[in-house]
């Protein structure tokens, strides 16, 4: 029986094989239109992707031509597809949507096939004709469609993929959601009850100006603070650790600070530099915009100051409580709280009815050992349409100083209607005017330029007396926005240093929402570790953007890791740069004052990957001890490289020091 059955079976199998071969041969390719994929899984820096509409919700239109099919995106935009090995071909046209006409949107489109760039468009601005993409996808497993900012900020970067489709044979390619969700996990070790002094190790002040520095220290209270070699003119409150006074003579003093409680004494040196520079380390603080925006009011600001103390953040060096826009009156508004004369009879700016008394408010903030910040614009109106400083710069600087403010964010906005274009000279002009006004007041006011990077502000921000300058448009709590901004900072490192910092915008961890409604940051836990690690490496101002009265344990863990903060506050003042890159795997490093290096191993891909930092790329030689910064522990000695498995969109932050 067997002898008869075998040939029959093999005959049937052969027939089946032949049939399937001819079936495959005959199989027609199917078409997957891009607008038909699950658009809830794509990401972009702003807006929501919808089928056949631009990101602004209009018909897809590029250089006057309207397209029925496609998907509108926005830098940093990402569509990730798993091609299942069945894709044959990809076709699309790309361009900036006409809804961005008259604005400064500019994008670059790229396509990655299995992480290799197979297409890159020129810079596409408004009016650039759509560019065609035509790619063979045979054998490709993963396809990424990317819309990048072309280097001038992400504003109006409305990039369209039109007439875009994949031809495939067999299983349908699928869009891959960015990354699976991970529960928040805490890496920062528990705070010790023993005293420990944290925060800045160097502090600058101008001669004759009020001095205030709070010794940041963790450990159980009561705690007693003392200082050896405190220059004459300063006094230290032994209970609070707040140092105040005035120093009239230029020069440097190294003070030995001590914090003592029932469990011991901590000692740390603080260098006080009396001179022309302030902000010798990047400012650490909070700003009202990313949580409250228009909904900011006096109670919320007071509550933020209270929360900075109550949460213990102040003990890690966090200092500024900054009000952003919307504290002034609003011309033309019918809201009784915002209506009112813009200025008094002497031309001094008025506050709106959400606030009662700015001096009382800053006194309150100062009484807690914190500093106060405010916002204005060089134009007639702020970005949100409130009264601003144009032609009242001297008066405003005087008023801010009289009120007791320590920080001013000066936001270009309606100055666009005054300036004659965006040449470097025009970009500098209003900031020079305010610099001169600030120089006339007898108070140190940190000068924060906000003009989104226009005229390559990093190249001249220091020269015109800025202490920090925004290098980008506004951040939001999405991976594409945060990572797009953060990883674009390479090349700016040479412009940062003590007293002058690049500012890639405020933090988006915790409860944010641009008020009044708040929501937990849409960044995953790993993305939030990336955010804080990268901003620390970049020596960026760290301005918390969340409602600090409602911080969960995870958010506090992100903001209270002293070793991470130390990287940001390192007295050398170096900004990290990109040292090696393998697709989405990037190694960033910066030199630290003690001769070691802080190194971030970042994984921008959507799956777990091994990231390697080689001594070669880092400019190191010999054995190095790797120290895990978030976990605050050594990880061993390594001969010529360090590798780590890094979660999707995550980071491994280490320091490397020469082994003994």
Smallest distance, ligand GAL to C-beta of residue 154, A: 11
Which span (8-16, 343-351, 381-389, 491-499) binds ligand GAL, by CB under 6 A? 381-389
Told to check if 578 binds ligand GAL by CB under 6 A, we report no
586: helix, strand or coil: strand
Instruction: Select 152 or 562, whichever has its Cβ closest to ligand GAL.
Output: 152
In the complex with ligand GAL, which residue's Cβ is closer, 410 or 495? 410
> Is the separation of the CB atoms in 539 and 576 below 8 Å?
yes
Nearer to ligand GAL, 376 or 480 (CB): 376
Q: Which residue is nearest to ligand GAL (CB)?
A: 383
Nearer to ligand GAL, 289 or 460 (CB): 289
CA distances from 504 to 294, 422, 609 (A): 22, 20, 26
Instruction: Enumerate the H helices of 371-458 as residue ranges.
Output: 393-403, 424-439
Q: What is the per-residue DSSP string for 112-144? A: EETTEEEEE---EETTPPPEEEEEE-TT--EEE
Taking the complex as a whole, how short is the minimal distance between the CB of residue 473 and ligand GAL, in angstroms?
A: 7
Letters for 339-358 (x = contact with ligand GAL by CB under 6 A, - = none) are --------------------
Q: Is 601 in the site for ligand GAL (CB under 6 A)?
A: no
Tell me whether residue 394 is one of the annotated catalytic residues. no
Q: Which stretch binds ligand GAL (CB under 6 A): 216-224, 378-386, 489-497, 508-516?
A: 378-386
Q: Which is nearer to ligand GAL, 90 or 410 (CB)?
A: 410
- From the candidates 474, 503, 562, 566, which is the catalytic residue? 474
Minimum CB–partner distance for residue 326 and ligand GAL (Å):
7
Catalytic residue status for 114 = no
Interface residue with ligand GAL among 97, 99, 152, 324 (CB under 6 A) is 324
Spatial CA neighbour of 511 closest among 542, 548, 566, 458: 548
What angle separates helix 525-537 from helix 479-486, to the nearest 10 degrees?
20
CB 136 within 8 A of CB 167: no
DSSP letters for 177-239: -S---------SPPPPSS-EEES-SEEEE-TTSEEEEEPEEESPSS-EEEEESPPTTEEE-TT
Shortest separation between residue 46's beta carbon and ligand GAL, angstroms: 13
Among 200, 234, 450, 648, binds ligand GAL (CB under 6 A): 450
Collapse the DSSP code of 616 into the 3-class scheme (helix H, G, I; strand E, B; otherwise coil) and give the result.
helix
Nearer to ligand GAL, 219 or 283 (CB): 283
> 10 Å Cβ neighbour count for 24?
10
Rounded least distance, CB 474 to ligand GAL, Å: 5
396 binding ligand GAL? (CB under 6 A) = no
Catalytic residue (choose from 324, 406, 411, 566): 411
The CB-of-548 to ligand GAL minimum distance in angstroms stands at 18
Q: Which is nearer to ligand GAL, 542 or 587 (CB)?
A: 542
Q: b/e per residue, 97-130, with b = 16+ CB within 10 A?
A: bbbbbeebbbbbbbbbbeeeebbebeebbbebeb
Smallest CA-to-CA distance from 499 within 277, 321, 186 is with: 277
Taking CB under 6 A as the criterion, which residues in 504-543 touch ligand GAL?
none
Give the end-to-end CA distance of the chain in Å, rounded to a whole number. Answer: 79
**Minimum CB separation from ligand GAL for residue 556, in Å?**
24
**Reading across the β-sheet that carries 210-214, which strands appear in turn?**
210-214, 242-246, 234-236
**Residue 15 is encoded by which pair of tokens?**
């027939």
- Tell the burial category of 633 from Cβ atoms under 10 Å away from its Cβ (0-12, 13-18, 19+): exposed
Contacts with ligand GAL by CB under 6 A: the residue count is 10
Give the residue with the Cβ less far from ligand GAL, 157 or 324: 324
Out of 474, 566, 570, 586, the residue judged to bind ligand GAL by CB under 6 A: 474
In the complex, minimum distance from the CB of residue 414 to ligand GAL, in angstroms, rounded to a whole number: 10
Helix (H) / strand (E) containing 630 = none
Counted residue by residue, the chain has a size of 660
- Smallest gap from Cβ 325 to ligand GAL, in A, equals 4
Site string for ligand GAL, 410-449 (x = CB under 6 A): -x-x------------------------------------
How far is Cα 288 from Cα 321, in angstroms, rounded to an integer?
A: 8
How is 275-336 classified by DSSP, letter by letter? SS---SS--EEEESHHHHGGG--HHHHHHHHHHHHHTSGGGGT--EEE--S-SB--TT---T
CB of 609 to ligand GAL, least distance (A): 33
Q: Which lies closer to ligand GAL via its Cβ, residue 468 or residue 598? A: 468
* Interacting residue with ligand GAL among 81, 112, 234, 383 (CB under 6 A): 383
Q: According to the binding rule CB under 6 A, does residue 382 interact with ligand GAL?
A: yes
Comparing CB distances to ligand GAL, the nearer of 219 and 504 is 504
**Strand (E) positions, 43-86?**
60-62, 65-67, 70-72, 77-82
Piece of the chain touching ligand GAL by CB under 6 A; list 149-157, 189-197, 237-245, 379-387:
379-387
Nearest to 471 by CA among 485, 483, 487, 482: 485
Which member of 59, 63, 187, 384 binds ligand GAL (CB under 6 A)?
A: 384
Confirm if 371 and 243 have CB atoms less than 8 A apart. Answer: no
If one asks whether residue 325 binds ligand GAL (CB under 6 A), the answer comes out as: yes
In the complex, what is the shortest distance from the CB of residue 476 to ligand GAL, in angstroms, rounded to a whole number?
A: 11
User: Phi and psi for 28 in degrees, rounded to 5?
Assistant: -85, 145
Nearer of residues 384 and 625 to ligand GAL, judged by Cβ: 384
240, 255, 402, 440 from 208: Cα distances, Å: 24, 19, 15, 13
Under a CB-based contact definition with an 8 Å cutoff, are residues 71 and 160 in contact? yes
**Judged by CB under 6 A, which stretch of 89-97, 141-149, 253-261, 380-388 contacts ligand GAL?**
380-388
Determine which residue in the list 289, 355, 364, 554 makes contact with ligand GAL, applying CB under 6 A: 289
Q: Which stretch, 86-94, 376-384, 591-599, 608-616, contacts ligand GAL (CB under 6 A)?
A: 376-384
**Which residues are identified as catalytic?**
411, 474
Kindly list the residues in this chain that would bind ligand GAL in the complex (CB under 6 A).
289, 324-325, 382-384, 411, 413, 450, 474
């Amino acid at each position: 029986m067997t002898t008869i059955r075998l040939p029959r079976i093999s005959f049937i199998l052969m027939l089946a094989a032949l049939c399937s071969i001819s079936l495959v041969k005959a199989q027609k390719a199917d078409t997957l239109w891009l607008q038909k994929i699950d658009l809830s899984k794509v990401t972009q820096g702003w807006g929501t992707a919808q089928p056949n509409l631009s990101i602004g919700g209009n018909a897809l239109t590029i250089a006057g031509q309207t397209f029925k099919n496609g998907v509108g995106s926005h830098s940093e935009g990402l569509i990730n597809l798993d091609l299942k090995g069945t894709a044959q071909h990809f076709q699309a046209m790309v361009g900036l949507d006409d809804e961005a006409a008259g604005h400064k949107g500019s994008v670059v489109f790229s396509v990655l096939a299995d992480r290799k760039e197979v297409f890159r468009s020129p810079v596409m601005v408004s009016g650039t004709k759509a560019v065609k993409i035509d790619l063979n996808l045979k054998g490709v497993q993963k396809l990424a469609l990317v819309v990048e900012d072309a280097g001038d900020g992400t504003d109006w970067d409305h990039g369209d993929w039109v007439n875009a489709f994949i031809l495939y044979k067999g299983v349908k390619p699928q869009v891959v959601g960015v990354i699976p969700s991970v529960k928040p996990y805490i890496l920062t070790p528990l705070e010790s009850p023993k005293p420990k002094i944290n925060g800045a190790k160097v502090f600058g002040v101008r001669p004759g100006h009020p001095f205030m520095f709070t010794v940041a220290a963790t450990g159980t209270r009561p705690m007693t603070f003392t200082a050896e070699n405190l220059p004459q003119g300063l006094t230290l409150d032994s209970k609070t650790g707040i140092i105040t006074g005035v120093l009239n003579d230029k020069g440097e003093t190294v003070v030995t600070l001590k914090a003592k409680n029932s469990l011991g004494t901590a000692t740390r040196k603080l260098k006080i530099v009396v001179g022309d520079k302030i902000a010798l380390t990047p400012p650490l603080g909070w700003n009202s915009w990313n949580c409250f925006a228009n909904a900011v009011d006096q109670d919320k600001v007071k509550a933020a100051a209270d929360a900075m103390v109550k949460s213990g953040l102040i003990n890690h060096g966090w200092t500024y409580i900054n009000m952003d826009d919307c504290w002034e009156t609003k011309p033309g508004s019918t809201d009784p709280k915002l209506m009112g004369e813009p200025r008094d009879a002497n031309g001094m700016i008025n506050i709106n009815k959400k606030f009662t008394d700015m001096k009382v408010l800053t006194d309150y903030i100062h009484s807690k050992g914190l500093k106060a910040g405010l916002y204005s614009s060089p134009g007639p109106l702020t970005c949100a349409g409130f009264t601003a400083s144009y032609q009242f710069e001297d008066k405003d600087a005087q008023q801010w100083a009289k009120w007791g403010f320590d920080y001013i964010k000066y936001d270009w906005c309606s100055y666009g209607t005054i300036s004659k274009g965006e040449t470097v000279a025009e970009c500098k002009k209003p900031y020079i005017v305010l610099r001169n006004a600030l120089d006339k007041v007898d108070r140190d006011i940190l000068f924060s330029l906000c003009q989104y990077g226009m005229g390559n502000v990093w190249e001249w921000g220091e020269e015109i007396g800025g202490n920090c300058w925004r290098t980008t448009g506004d951040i939001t709590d999405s991976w594409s926005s945060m990572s797009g901004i953060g990883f674009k900072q390479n090349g700016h490192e040479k412009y940062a240093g003590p007293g002058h910092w690049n500012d890639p915008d405020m933090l988006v961890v915790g409860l944010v929402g641009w008020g009044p409604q708040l929501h937990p940051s849409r960044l995953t836990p790993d993305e939030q570790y990336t955010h804080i690690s990268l901003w620390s490496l970049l020596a960026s101002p760290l301005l918390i953007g969340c409602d600090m009265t409602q911080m969960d344990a995870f958010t506090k863990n992100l903001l209270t890791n002293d070793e991470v903060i130390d990287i940001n506050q390192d007295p050398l003042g170096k900004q990290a740069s990109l040292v090696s890159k393998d697709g989405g795997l990037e190694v960033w490093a910066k030199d630290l004052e003690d001769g070691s290096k802080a190194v971030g191993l970042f994984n921008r891909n959507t799956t777990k990957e091994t990231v390697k930092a080689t001594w070669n790329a880092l400019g190191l030689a010999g054995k190095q001890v790797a120290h895990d910064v978030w976990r605050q522990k050594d990880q061993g000695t390594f001969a010529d490289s360090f590798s780590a498995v890094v979660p999707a969109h995550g980071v491994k932050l280490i320091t490397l020091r020469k082994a003994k």
